[in-house]
Structure 1
Amino acid sequence: MIREADVETVTVIGSGIVGLTTAWALSEAGMAVRLLDRMALGREASWAGGGILCPLHPWRYPDAVQALAWRAAVAYPELASGLAERTGIDPEWTRSGLLVLDGDAGAARIWSQRWNQPVEFGSPRELAAWEPALTPTEGSLVRLPQAAQVRNPRLLQALSGALRARGVTIREHCTVHGLRVAAGRVIALDTGEGRVSTDGPVVVAAGAWSADLVAPLGAPVPIAPVKGQMLLFEAAPGLIGHVVLKGDRYALARRDGRVLFGSTVESAGFDKQPDPAIGQQLREAAVALIPALAEAHLAAHWAGLRPGSPDGIPIIGRHPQVANLWLNAGHYRNGVLLAPASAELLADLLQGRRPALDPAPYAWPTGAS
């Protein structure tokens, strides 16, 4: 049973990529941190996604997502190499590029100029040179050569190892059922292992489960689970080089040749069971895009729950009425990408530092319903 009280400790609820990077940013600033999670570390959306470090069809996203995305993208190479050096676990940050097969050239050009992101345009002839394993296609191709990917399960392992080495307490399988508030402050957490008393900051970074946890305290947040299903093929290294995007479906290859293909967008509550019929649809789409996958072994099919939010803009800030309660959640399809910049912003706000980004677009909404 947990029985602890520490006014100096920041409690982070959630050990996905957002919770882990938040804990890292706070510990980097010299704060004591403990982290609680209802599951094994990082086994929800952070593990289930593809680890793409660029928004899909980035020109469709609002400025608030863009600002976080490109600040985080710049931080990732150093973060990944530093974690590899500290822990011996390589997150495999790779500048693979993003190839959009149905890109909007006009929108991409405007976006490129505004956000200073390089972009290239091509025809079916260039496709044969860029990705010869793909089925030939017609229409405009948009290539983002600077886009990268990271092997997200290894990133989660490296972060957790680095945090433990730094002395951060990580409690897995410790469900937080509720927050006890008195005089406008969280004073305790009710968990499956007992009550945890605190007078320090509490950061909710529980992904799709965040809204239910904070709802009883007023100022509810518009975060809801959005199911996504994925496939994993075992293929030879080098089959494809880019992250390849067509519509809402993407394919990417890891350094060892494993190919991930996904992902669906489903409103199914908290149901994260993979559907065999949808798995078959995904397999057919994967083979239609990359014919060589017809002969590849289908190694896995899984589903995860993204924390959906309006326009994919996360909420990063303090509760309007509870002085020591903070939220860092609602990153939708871009949790892995946005996590370092979101964590930096949260840490700056919590410590009263002037943040690098304007925090207003991410403020905890007071009129949400």
Structure 2
Amino acid sequence: MTSNTDITLVGGGIMGLLTAREFYKAGATVTVIDKGFLGRESSWAGGGILLPLYPWRQQPGITQLVKQSLGLYPNLASELLAETDIDPEWNPCGLLITQNPDITAAMDWCNHNKIAFEEVERRLGGLETTPVHPLFLPHIAQIRNPRLIKSLKQDLLQKGVRLLENCLLSSINLENNSVTSINTSIGNLPINQLIISAGAWTSELMVQFFPTIRDNRPQISPVKGQMLLFAAKPDTLPTMVLDGGHYLIPRLDGHILAGSTVEANTFDKTTTSEAKDQISDFALKLLPVLKDYPLVKHWAGIRPGTACGVPYIDKHPEISNLSINAGHFRNGLAMAPASAQLMVDLILDRPSSVDPEPYRLDRLV
């Protein structure tokens, strides 16, 4: 295989697919390769809340990507629905946060970032919890991530973007500090610009294929998360709920996701009875009516963990045509549209809407 494109992305999760779409919109030809099926790792497994948990406790680098993405999602969702007839179910159902001991910081963050909030009564109908300065953020949305991935894939196929699934990267060919081509399980691909957007596997790929690079290497480690799904009826829960370290997410069909665990340093996606019991106990205690509905699914995904959850979005300082867009930890969906735009802006030398400094590869050196 010798077909050449302007941009080649290794990793076809939400970050790779949205970056591919942004490059297409800029007039570039694009290839996306993935070791498995597109979007079936962290992007498929997550909950889809389009805001970090307790965002006022997060780094400013997370906040600026989330704020930018909040403004991009409505048009993105409507465009994908119009172009593919697959509804990604962007749903501004609001987020109720039941316990906020740091209420002053929470309200200051919301005011500073123009996020609407309402202080609610201590009695929360239908929920069994001990509220501490509960807040409701009425405009925070969710996205149904499997449907988002499905609609993005269809949209890119219709646009002529080359999507290569079950395509294993075997070696990378370098000449004068530039990637000339990559060898894969389906043949050799010439490279103009190479972007690694492989989530939790990004650091492993860098170690394997660029062993002499030691300083400007992303520090990304796997963090497993397990979730449950209850087949509830529509309107069982009107809004997303964050209670302590866990949450409930109601889909439009009534199904309710409950999550999640945080298990560091493992690529093992095996589900465990301990996690199932932990999450189930939380969900049934918080929303007792869930006892009337069956638990229909239990799964795990691997998040790309970084220090403080801040991703790497940068051109590599040593290899002229290599870039990284990975390491978004628990907030990949919430940061994805802005992250994709920033990656394209950097490579095309366009002015960026967000400050690129927090995402540099050399930030820890």
TM-score, normalised with respect to structure 2? 0.96
Paired with 1:171 and 1:51, the residues of 2 have a C-alpha distance of 25
What code does the residue aligned with 1:173 have? N
1:324-362: CA deviation from partner (whole Å, max 9, x where unpaired): 001000000011111100000000111111111111111
Residue 141 of structure 2, aligned match among 128, 139, 148 = 148
1:183-223: CA deviation from partner (whole Å, max 9, x where unpaired): 1111121222233222x101111100011112342122111
Q: Is the 8 A contact 1:123 1:139 kept in 2?
A: no
| Off by >3 Å, runs of 4+ in structure 1 | none
Q: Which runs of 5+ in 2 are unaligned?
A: none
Q: Tell me the residue number matched to 2:301.
A: 304
Paired with 2:106 and 2:87, the residues of 1 have a C-alpha distance of 32
The aligned runs of 1:153-232 (5 Å cut-off) are 153-198=146-191, 200-215=192-207, 216-217=209-210, 218=213, 219-232=216-229
Q: Tell me the residue number matched to 1:293.
A: 290
1:113 partner SS: helix
What code does the residue aligned with 1:87 have? T
Please say if 1:57 is aligned against 2:50. no
Shift in Å, 1:113: 2.0
Paired with 2:236 and 2:56, the residues of 1 have a C-alpha distance of 28
Residues 268 and 214 from structure 1, CA distance in 2 versus in 1: closer, same or farther, beyond 3 angstroms?
closer
Residue 106 of structure 1, aligned match among 101, 104, 114 = 104
Residues 152 and 290 from structure 1, CA distance in 2 versus in 1: closer, same or farther, beyond 3 angstroms?
same
Q: Which moved more, 1:82-91 or 1:171-180?
A: 171-180
Q: How many residues end up aligned between the 2 structures?
A: 359
1:23-60: CA deviation from partner (whole Å, max 9, x where unpaired): 00000100000100011111000000011111111111
Please say if 1:75 is aligned against 2:72. yes
Shift in Å, 1:109: 1.2
What code does the residue aligned with 1:59 have? W
Q: Is the 8 A contact 2:221 2:265 kept in 1?
A: no
Paired with 1:101 and 1:171, the residues of 2 have a C-alpha distance of 44
The aligned runs of 1:200-349 (5 Å cut-off) are 200-215=192-207, 216-217=209-210, 218=213, 219-349=216-346
Paired with 1:91 and 1:165, the residues of 2 have a C-alpha distance of 17
Paired with 1:295 and 1:180, the residues of 2 have a C-alpha distance of 58
1:206-262: CA deviation from partner (whole Å, max 9, x where unpaired): 100011112342122111110000001100111111110012201011010100000
Paired with 1:97 and 1:176, the residues of 2 have a C-alpha distance of 41
1:291-346: CA deviation from partner (whole Å, max 9, x where unpaired): 01112111110000000011111100111100100100000001111110000000
Paired with 1:148 and 1:213, the residues of 2 have a C-alpha distance of 33
Paired with 2:355 and 2:275, the residues of 1 have a C-alpha distance of 41
Shift in Å, 1:73: 0.6
Residues 98 and 32 from structure 1, CA distance in 2 versus in 1: closer, same or farther, beyond 3 angstroms?
same
Give the RMSD, CA atoms, in angstroms. 1.3
TM-score, normalised with respect to structure 1? 0.95
